[in-house]
Structure 1
Amino acid sequence: MSLSPQFLDELRARVTLSTLIGKSVKLTKAGREYKACCPFHNEKSPSFYVNDDKAFYHCFGCGAHGDAIRFLTEAKGLSFIDAVKELADGAGMEVPAPDPRAAQRNEQQAGLHDVMTAAAAWFEEQLAGIDGTQARAYLERRGISAQLAKAFGIGFAPDSRGRLKAALKSYGEGKLIETGLLILVEDKEPYDRFRGRVMIPIRDQRGRTIAFGGRILDSGEPKYLNSPETPLFDKGRTLFNIDRAGPAARKANRVIAVEGYMDVIALTKAGIDEAVAPLGTALTEQQLERLWWMAEVPILCFDGDKAGQKAAVRAAQRALPMIAPGRTLRFALLPGGQDPDDLVKSGGSSAVEKVLGEAISLDELLWRAEHEAQPLGTPEARAGLRKRLGDLAATIQDGDVRYQYQMEFRRRFDEQFGQARRQPYERRPFQPRQQRRPGQPWKPEPEPPLRATHAVNQSGIEPRMMRAAMAGLLRYPALLAEKNELIGSLRIDDEALVSLRTIAFDASFSGVPLEKESLETILREAGLGSLVEELKATNTLAFSFLRGNAEYNRAVHDLSATIDALAAIPSLDAALREATDRLGMETSEAQWSEQQRLREALADARRALTDLAQGGDGGGV
């Protein structure tokens, strides 16, 4: 039966969740919510909460979470449609009449489930019989006991093209073909798909067999053969062992994703039941969603060989756009060349728990993978690393998490390779005029401070010039990435402006153009809202980039020239003082020329900055 989202939303709205759950669970009022001991796992102190306003329940102990329909399916074992019918009766609503086509599909699927159930039972019979001798020996070598095989429903498909077809002939060839048990080839009789293989049932969340995985006994190919996609089986949405792992994950408050069937079975052998596996392919977005439904931070535990590590990186990159606060992944790195089965055999559950306990975070895995991707001995290679990290962070959809990843990758990069910064020049105190002794080289007197420079900071830059430049960067943040070295070298004495620059740099390290609205939001969230407003109101100077009606190219050109001048002036000033000191020690024509050149360059930079501040274009810096 197909039910519309509107009907289901109306049904949930009419049900008081606390009343429904209170029929079977003793609830206690706790503020605007209700609490109780969880009905899904054993506990002595309440960690199960019911919220009527949001219409969901949640257990902080085992992670059980859902709405009214989910409660009836999980707690009472009702099917989805039976749960809907029970709720609709209590809410005075009529369940819509079934769509004839949907009813036909449901009836058809019910028949297919019967076929798969019969096939699973037949495979188990073959494993226990004389034909299953070799398969039983294989399972024994793998350390899979008869009890464990029974728990997973493991069976055996004899090496025959027609044994299963004959055993299930009462269901008709059509259904056997539709479930993927028979292969239909043009101009040939349909024949059994699985032959000479250990058969592992793939079950849905309700424990119904929907497909099979077959493991060959000898060295033939393919080693594993899965059912094709059918009306019952969507490979990209299914996880092996989800029926057994779901309840175990709620109890353990974790879920572990491994590479294959045997890895899951090996962990079960070690007492770890909350393990699942994709079905021969990389984890899909739908499978990741199912993992997050089972636990907020699933642990991915892939083989320790190169293929396993590549699979972990692919999974990390696929998950990155989907992560959010409280929703991420961790990665358990197995020793080189080992898989979970090897680990269980060599060290038992304690060895597995040690590896799981040392699982690394998603950002750590990505950093390691990109850092080790190629040698980083050249500036170009390091720039490539920085770009790749920025591109990865840019894929994250959640803005807050994206910003945190940008900051974290920037921190790691700077910690590893350092950040080029020019050290502030320490201005020497003014010395009074001294008499020159006989034979002492002539030394120019230091220039007295001018009135116009009384209000400058240590860099020799008037503070309002620096504030104007920062205000310009708020309006045109694209320059943060284009001129990051020069902006990073600016000598700023105002701690608030230094904080703004640091946070703005982190925001620009994203691999995508930074918009001014996004930058303002980031700065406000960092507690710099009042400074942002002050800078937006800056209008004491006539810089073109501070005008609301400025032509874009002119404003960006002038802001770029202003940054050039602000970076050049302190450097030129320091160089001029050093040249003057050298001139005092030993006079030469070359030193006089150098001093004169520096004086003219410094004057030009100051003149350009003044011209820009008065609305000109600076004439070039």
Structure 2
Amino acid sequence: MALTPQWLDELRSRVTLSSVIMRTTKLQKAGHEWKACCPFHDEKSPSFTVSDQKGFYHCFGCGAHGDVIRWMIDQRGLQFMDAVKELAAEAGMEVPAPDPRAARRAEQRAGLHDVMQGAQDWFVRNLQSNSGAGARDYLKSRGFNQHTIERFGFGYAPAERQAMKAALPEFEEPLLIEGGLRIAVDDKEPYDRFRSRLMLPIHDVRGRVIAFGGRILEANTKAPKYLNSPDTPLFDKGRTLYNLHRAGPASRQSGRMIVVEGYMDVIALAAAGIEDAVAPLGTALTENQIELLWRMVEAPIVCFDGDAAGQRAAMRAATRALPLLRPSHTLRIVRLPSGLDPDDLLNQKGRGAMDALLESPQSLLDTLWFHERDAQPLDSPESKAGLKARLLDHVEAIAHPDIKALYKRELLERFSNFAFPPRQAHRSGQGKRPWQSGKPVNPLLSPDSKRRLRNASGPAAKVGLSAAVITGLARHPGQIMRHADVLARYAASDRNLAPAIDFLIESAETLEPSDNLPICLPEGLVAPPDETRFSFLREGIDPKAACDDLAEAVSLLVERPALEAALLAATARFETDPEGAFAEQQRLLKRKLDFERRLGQMVSERAAAAAHSDSDRQTAENGEDGTETD
């Protein structure tokens, strides 16, 4: 069977070890682990421990040790493939089909581990030789002491193309090639992949060398600065995090996990005493790596360089995490000062500056908001609409329904507060409109104003959106101050609704926070809305759902004047720039059609849902044949 190490690791990660052992052995919770009397030998006090985080069981009495597959073999008496098939069925994984070549590779896998360790030992010896002097000088310039050099296994690959083959004659050429250490070229002699490079070993979660990374030491060369091993039977760069075997135990003590951009950043942090850091390997943070991090902590911290490339990488990590979000599991982002990486920050400002940043990371939502807000100038209604569209694109990527709804609500609220900044707040004796006195009043619209409100042009008026929003806010007064800034700005563009908006804001300012009783609107303040068309006006609707729908209605209401103003401006440009004005007008008309579609969809969906709810309720109250029941 073609069971690669990556496939087996995936199988182990999908099956909780304690839940399997618990079927036949009584376990007791002991901190982050489980304990029991060992099932492999007789004992009176528990010495058998199970760790889901580490993925193995261990008995301190008899020495029994293994993972979930070993448990099925030793405790259940199954053959290896039978154990794998049973666990795969439980995990919902398909066992790979038989492959003779893969079987031969599986037999050589232990040999590959030997090859990688042999190469590592050779690299380390080279670093201490005369040819490694340049690499030692570089390490000294980075401030790495001998303890750090030995701990992380630094080595050196010499410049000769055939040096490794000569130094490791005990390993056959095909194994060196399969391990990614040598490169085979058609009709040419294979040659060493790593040459004239400072070498670092890459380990799996069990601490075994599975790959290498090398930094070029020669100046003025076209070779890449960093070079990693290719994917091999032992190494999948998208499923591996550098230093995870060291950072995992450290994170269980600190309760955090830090993701930096490269392995030199990891080592710089470790040298400064920050042990719980890992790094991806030449790629953006992948979905599999995010899941690996979440097995350690619920909210790992992404801390990439402060340059533009580093911040783009942080945003790629953020957007890749969105579809994976689930309750309590997220990413937090640290923004390093511009132009600095973690090593620079540590050297220039010390450990305290790094600790301060790590103690106050941005939330994922904050990162999305600030990135999109600052992505381009927001000096026109169109650019602001573009900001809103980008924010909603991020929201649409979220799969979890509750998290998606919360992100949408928060981002739209931030957008509204930004796009429609507050006007001067009304206070007693200052800036009051003629119809206002010192306290909430009952201002009445003139007959002409009421007629214009009912007959106002545009799709929003046809379904009574303005009146529905005012009535909805009066019924849910706790939402008024949430939208106060947006509504106050809107009031400046709609004199018909200005009295109603001011009345609601001033009334809300007098309410206690716990007072959720509806506000009574003065007669004639707004035209009565058609309550069957808007869910937030219907009796019996869930308050949370009503507030969400009301927020969407406010957003649509305040978007209309900006769109209409932009259309008027485009039309006014026809005399001076007919082609540009026509193109702008067509684009805005398309946006207006989209606005009308969204509004119509909101009304029809809400009305249909309400009608369906009424039908269900009526059916419950009456008999199946439609007659009333006793």
Same fold per TM (> 0.5)? yes
The corresponding residue for 1:446 is none
The corresponding residue for 1:244 is 246
Counterpart Cα distance in 2 of 1:374 and 1:425 = 44
Asked if 1:458 corresponds to 2:452, the answer is: no
Residues 458-489 of structure 1 show CA distances to partners (whole Å, capped at 9, x for unaligned) of: 346675x5312225xx8xxxxxxxxxxxxxxx
Q: What displacement does 1:355 show?
A: 1.1
Residues 196-217 of structure 1 show CA distances to partners (whole Å, capped at 9, x for unaligned) of: 1100111111111111111011
The corresponding residue for 1:140 is 140
Q: 1:393 to 1:96 in 2, by over 3 A?
A: same
The corresponding residue for 1:180 is 180
Contact preservation (8 Å) 1:11, 1:87: no
Contact preservation (8 Å) 1:367, 1:409: yes
Aligned residues with identical type, % of pairs:
43
The corresponding residue for 1:504 is 549
| Amino acid of the structure 1 residue aligned with 2:203 | R
> Which of the residues 528, 532, 540 maps onto 1:468?
532
What TM-score comes out, normalization by structure 1 length?
0.64
The corresponding residue for 1:85 is 70
Q: What displacement does 1:240 show?
A: 0.8
Contact preservation (8 Å) 2:17, 2:55: no
The corresponding residue for 1:45 is none
Residues 229-270 of structure 1 show CA distances to partners (whole Å, capped at 9, x for unaligned) of: 111111111111111111111121111000001100000011
The corresponding residue for 1:353 is 355
Q: 1:319 to 1:77 in 2, by over 3 A?
A: farther
Residues 164-195 of structure 1 show CA distances to partners (whole Å, capped at 9, x for unaligned) of: 11111221111111111111122211111111
Contact preservation (8 Å) 2:531, 2:538: no
Contact preservation (8 Å) 1:117, 1:209: yes
Instruction: Out of 159-168 and 97-106, give the one that drifted further.
Output: 97-106
Counterpart Cα distance in 1 of 2:544 and 2:404 = 19
The corresponding residue for 1:235 is 237
| Amino acid of the structure 2 residue aligned with 1:304 | G
SS in structure 2 at match of 1:106: helix
What does residue range 290-369 of structure 1 map to in structure 2 within 5 Å? Answer: 290-369=292-371
Q: What displacement does 1:383 show?
A: 0.8
Aligned-residue RMSD, C-alpha:
4.3
The corresponding residue for 1:426 is 443
The corresponding residue for 1:596 is none
Counterpart Cα distance in 2 of 1:230 and 1:79 = 25
The corresponding residue for 1:122 is 122
Counterpart Cα distance in 2 of 1:268 and 1:399 = 39
| Amino acid of the structure 1 residue aligned with 2:377 | P
The corresponding residue for 1:376 is 378
Q: What displacement does 1:348 show?
A: 2.7
Counterpart Cα distance in 1 of 2:140 and 2:349 = 19
What does residue range 193-212 of structure 1 map to in structure 2 within 5 Å? Answer: 193-212=193-212
Q: 1:71 to 1:362 in 2, by over 3 A?
A: same
Q: 1:499 to 1:258 in 2, by over 3 A?
A: closer
Contact preservation (8 Å) 1:239, 1:277: yes
Asked if 1:66 corresponds to 2:111, the answer is: no
Q: What displacement does 1:106 show?
A: 2.7
| Amino acid of the structure 2 residue aligned with 1:262 | M
Contact preservation (8 Å) 2:126, 2:132: yes
Counterpart Cα distance in 1 of 2:343 and 2:129 = 27
Contact preservation (8 Å) 1:211, 1:233: yes
Counterpart Cα distance in 2 of 1:10 and 1:358 = 33
- Equivalent pairs counted in the alignment come to 450
Contact preservation (8 Å) 1:245, 1:276: yes
SS in structure 2 at match of 1:327: coil
Q: 1:293 to 1:261 in 2, by over 3 A?
A: same
SS in structure 2 at match of 1:85: helix
Contact preservation (8 Å) 1:14, 1:91: no
Counterpart Cα distance in 2 of 1:193 and 1:321 = 37
The corresponding residue for 1:156 is 156
Counterpart Cα distance in 1 of 2:274 and 2:257 = 10
Gaps of 5+ in 2: 37-49, 85-97, 424-432, 436-440, 448-519, 557-593, 620-630
Residues 135-168 of structure 1 show CA distances to partners (whole Å, capped at 9, x for unaligned) of: 1111010011111011111100111111111111
Q: What displacement does 1:227 show?
A: 1.1
Contact preservation (8 Å) 2:56, 2:66: no
Q: What displacement does 1:84 show?
A: 2.8
SS in structure 1 at match of 2:189: coil
The corresponding residue for 2:21 is 15
Gaps of 5+ in 1: 22-26, 28-34, 40-47, 51-63, 431-454, 475-491, 524-528, 540-621
Instruction: Out of 493-502 and 322-331, give the one that drifted further.
Output: 493-502
For the pair shown, the structure with the greater C-alpha radius of gyration is: 1
Q: 1:9 to 1:143 in 2, by over 3 A?
A: closer
Counterpart Cα distance in 2 of 1:14 and 1:265 = 37
Contact preservation (8 Å) 2:445, 2:524: no
Q: What displacement does 1:228 show?
A: 1.3
Q: What displacement does 1:381 show?
A: 0.8
The corresponding residue for 1:36 is 30
Q: 1:200 to 1:346 in 2, by over 3 A?
A: same
Counterpart Cα distance in 2 of 1:311 and 1:496 = 43
What TM-score comes out, normalization by structure 2 length?
0.63
